[in-house]
Amino acid sequence: MKVIAFVGSSRTDGNTSKVVGAVCAGMKESGHSVEICNLSELDNKGCRACGSCQAGKVEYCAVDDRVTALLPKVADADCIVLGTPVYMMHLSGTAKNFIDRLFAFYVQSNHTARCLPGKKYITVTCSGAPVGAFNNVTEYLNQLFEGAFQMKNSGNIIVGNVLGKDDVLNQRDILKSAEDVGRKLK
């Protein structure tokens, strides 16, 4: 399978990146091809609500930036991984700004989706608070991917108690189960 993974953290090698990296390592062991994109490096110009995607004026998005350049890869992938830290009780702005760009795959006229239905997805959320404190973030991501985009859930990894950049390294069980989720992707 072709997998595209997105890290929505401002810390380039922080906890979110490490857990997404573990998922992807497991996937690679199982023979999947994986590309990891750090969303904070993409200079995302943001959705301009121009409506070009809904009007079919462009293939995906009219904004001229590196996110638009990635949208064909999202359309082509069999599985999408999205990792986000919890910022101010929800997903990071970086992750949300990216999700707004997935409007290109939403068909507003009849509330369906194109390109994404049937693809697999995996989410990773990392919070300073203990596991369970911000399940709202995972619930939102499931609502988006499974509900709006009709994708198939291949795993929700929820990590808590990670405030310092490397704290997840003290939770080897989490990293191992993240690898397992990746390894088991079918």
Ligand X SMILES: Cc1cc2nc3c(=O)[nH]c(=O)nc-3n(C[C@H](O)[C@H](O)[C@H](O)COP(=O)(O)O)c2cc1C
Q: For binding to ligand X (CB under 6 A), which residues are involved? A: 9, 11, 14-17, 85-89, 126-129, 133-134, 162-163, 165
Considering the complex, what minimum distance in angstroms separates the CB of residue 131 from ligand X?
10
Considering the complex, what minimum distance in angstroms separates the CB of residue 170 from ligand X?
12
Q: Which CB atom, from 85 or from 182, has the smaller least distance to ligand X?
A: 85
E strands present in the chain: 2-7, 33-38, 79-87, 90-91, 106-107, 112-113, 120-126, 152-159
Q: Which CB atom, from 68 or from 92, has the smaller least distance to ligand X?
A: 92
- Closest residue to ligand X, judged by C-beta, is 14
Cα 116 to Cα 27, 53, 119, distances in angstroms: 20, 15, 6
Cα 161 to Cα 110, 129, 134, distances in angstroms: 41, 5, 12
Structural contact between residues 17 and 169, judged by C-beta atoms closer than 8 angstroms: no
Q: Which CB atom, from 83 or from 155, has the smaller least distance to ligand X?
A: 83
Cα separation, 12 vs 42, in Å, equals 12
Considering the complex, what minimum distance in angstroms separates the CB of residue 141 from ligand X?
15
Q: Which CB atom, from 154 or from 161, has the smaller least distance to ligand X?
A: 161
Considering the complex, what minimum distance in angstroms separates the CB of residue 6 from ligand X?
13
Q: Which CB atom, from 77 or from 91, has the smaller least distance to ligand X?
A: 91
Considering the complex, what minimum distance in angstroms separates the CB of residue 12 from ligand X?
9
Quick one: angle between helices 93-101 and 66-76, nearest 10? 70
